[in-house]
Amino acid sequence: MAVQSCVLHIDLIHDLSSGAGGKYGRLFPDLPGLVCDENDLLALGRAGAAIDALADDAANDNPRIAAGHTMFGHMIAHDLTADRSLLKHHASMRAIHNFRTPRLDFESLYDAGPSGAPYMYDMEDPDKFLLGATENGNAIDVLRNPQGKAIIGDPRNDVHGIISQLHLTMLKLHNRIVDHLRTEGVAPSEAFSQAQRNLRWHLQWVALHEYLPLTVGEPLMRDILSDGPRYFRPRSSQPFIPVEFADAAFRFGHSQVRLKYRLNASASAPIFPDLAGGQPIPTARAVDWKYFLPLDGAVLPQLTKRIGPHLPHTLIDLPEAIVGPAPRQEYHSLACRDLLRARALNLPSGETIARHIGAEPLSSEEAGLADFGWKSETPLWYYILKEAEVRHAGEHLGPVGGRIVAETLVGLIDADPTSFRSADPSWTPTLPSRKSRTFTLSDAVALATSPHAVQTASA
Ligand code: HEM
């Protein structure tokens, strides 16, 4: 029986037990849900519909955001939310369970640590991750079992070859930080926990100070960091993932995905079927990050696609290995799945939320659904894509999408007593970076892949 990376096989649904994760909740519990017909949603998201981008149009590249950030966003999504329920209408939100903790703590890298998940760590040096296949002494793949499945903290980080390469890069960075702490004389009993905290805090910094400003725009981010979230203020004892985030807003990232990726100097490939996960990465397809991030002045990294109502055809026709034996062809379309999830949770329309937060709602011409015979207001996920396109030429999210995404991430980090913003609010990055007192995804990747050891003070 195939076990899918992202969606649970129908036959396994009864095997689910309550994991260590948490609950979902609502950001806007008092707003009415959008009433719409399932068939209208399927018509909007199916193969061949306007949302299905069959060709890679260079004019649709987003000049603000390098392609590596899509993969970091994908990792964040997997770290926060795992709804493994079937695609159907949920009468009660309590019926769904989040198999992830509502914290940006990178449990998807660490799982239960060397004691709880020893198979991911090096038996001879359990402070470090065990890595997979090597070439010239350098690991080129994550650890895999004899059947090719990745032995990592979240199987979805092996749904395709690019995210599994980013996962590998983060594991390498952790191992490097352990080496560095040892040269600094950190007590052996502290090396793992200090390296883990160090990597978590640096990645939280990247999320808050690089990823979010790129994704939602600097002004909104400044506003939320200085005045705090307006709608999402979970108590640290009861954090939760808002369904408006997991089932609509943060799925904006699907529209950033490219039809094809340059992996290194000699290989390019689409995510599916070529780079489908669950199998070893051949050397020829190992990712060279300079094609994804600004790491080398001589190479312009490829870009994300602009945020908008389009998904690459590869995501409109997902392989059965991911969606399972779907009863309807439309269930292979990630756009249909995104639209159906929001309907299953009875999410409000984008216009309803815009009015509630005091933003100017898109007009029906701007939302553009009347052209498809649509009579009601706009489903939240589609609205957020369209809002980004209409308000910011798809370069970043607009007021509704941006607020849900930024408030959720900031609110979760602030509610986590172990995050740098709670535990040590004056902390600034300590790992080497190109610009002092800050840290970027490019810095993380450069440190993990550099032939030289980490040189500066630790957190
Ligand atoms: C790069 C290729 C990607 C693939 C192949 C992919 C695939 C998927 C699939 C199959 C699902 C489950 C759909 C469902 O049944 O509801 C999903 C869910 C999701 N995706 Fe993606 N995705 C990708 C990128 C991204 C990115 C870049 C982001 C955000 C920046 C993102 C955010 C999410 C979120 C928030 C969910 C809901 C997860 C949950 O609650 O279980 N994805 N994705």
**Residue 420 belongs to domain with CATH number:** 1.10.640.10
List pocket residues of ligand 1, CB cut-off 6 Å: 6-7, 70, 73-74, 77, 81-83, 87, 159-160, 246, 250-251, 253-254, 256-257, 271, 315, 318, 322, 334, 337, 341
Model confidence at 452, pLDDT cuts 50, 70, 90, reads confident
Has residue 2 been placed in a domain? no
- Give me the chain's average pLDDT, please: 91
Ligand 1 midpoint to CA 192 (Å) = 30
**Residue among 274, 334, 337, 441 to mutate when testing ligand 1 (max atoms within 8 A of CB):** 334
Spatial distance between the Cα atoms of 51 and 289, rounded to a whole number of angstroms? 29
The first and second tokens of residue 114, run together, are 């060397």
Residue 5: is its pLDDT beyond 60? no
394-422: pLDDT as tens digits? 999 999 999 999 999 999 999 999 999 99
Residue 457: is its pLDDT beyond 90? no
Residue 7: is its pLDDT beyond 90? no
Has residue 5 been placed in a domain? no
Has residue 459 been placed in a domain? no
H or E element in which residue 222 lies:
helix 218-227
Collapsing DSSP states into helix, strand and coil, what is residue 64? Answer: strand
- Ligand 1: atom nearest CA of 315 is 5
Ligand 1 midpoint to CA 254 (Å) = 7
Ligand 1 midpoint to CA 251 (Å) = 6
187-229: pLDDT as tens digits? 999 999 999 999 999 999 999 999 999 999 999 999 999 999 9
Spatial distance between the Cα atoms of 377 and 362, rounded to a whole number of angstroms? 10
Has residue 342 been placed in a domain? yes
The rounded radius of gyration (Å) of the Cα atoms in the chain is 21
Strands (E), 352-459: none
Strands (E), 186-316: 241-242, 261-262, 268-269, 303-305, 311-312
| 182: containing domain | 10-449
Ligand 1 midpoint to CA 16 (Å) = 20
Residue 69: is its pLDDT beyond 90? yes
The pLDDT of 384-391, averaged and rounded, is 98
Spatial distance between the Cα atoms of 256 and 62, rounded to a whole number of angstroms? 9
The secondary structure of residue 33, as a DSSP letter, is P
Residue 248 has what pLDDT? 98
Ligand 1 midpoint to CA 432 (Å) = 32
β-sheet bridge partners, residue 160 = 276
Residue of minimum CA distance from atom 32 in ligand 1: 251
- Ligand 1: atom nearest CA of 160 is 5
Has residue 458 been placed in a domain? no
The first and second tokens of residue 442, run together, are 């490019």
Residue 6: is its pLDDT beyond 80? no
Residue 246: is its pLDDT beyond 90? yes
Has residue 96 been placed in a domain? yes
Which amino acid belongs to residue 416? D
Residue 22 has what pLDDT? 65
β-sheet bridge partners, residue 261 = 269
The pLDDT of 2-31, averaged and rounded, is 54
Has residue 73 been placed in a domain? yes
Collapsing DSSP states into helix, strand and coil, what is residue 62? Answer: strand
98-119: pLDDT as tens digits? 778 889 999 999 999 999 999 9
Q: Are the CB atoms for 342 and 35 separated by under 8 Å?
A: no
Q: How many domains does the chain have?
A: 1
The pLDDT of 27-56, averaged and rounded, is 95
Collapsing DSSP states into helix, strand and coil, what is residue 333? Answer: coil
Question: Whole-prediction pTM value?
Answer: 0.94
The pLDDT of 246-263, averaged and rounded, is 98
Residue 11: is its pLDDT beyond 70? no
Has residue 90 been placed in a domain? yes
- Ligand 1: atom nearest CA of 314 is 5
Ligand 1 midpoint to CA 71 (Å) = 11
Residue 2: is its pLDDT beyond 60? no
Q: Are the CB atoms for 346 and 244 separated by under 8 Å?
A: no
Closest CA to 34 of 340, 372, 379, 373: 379
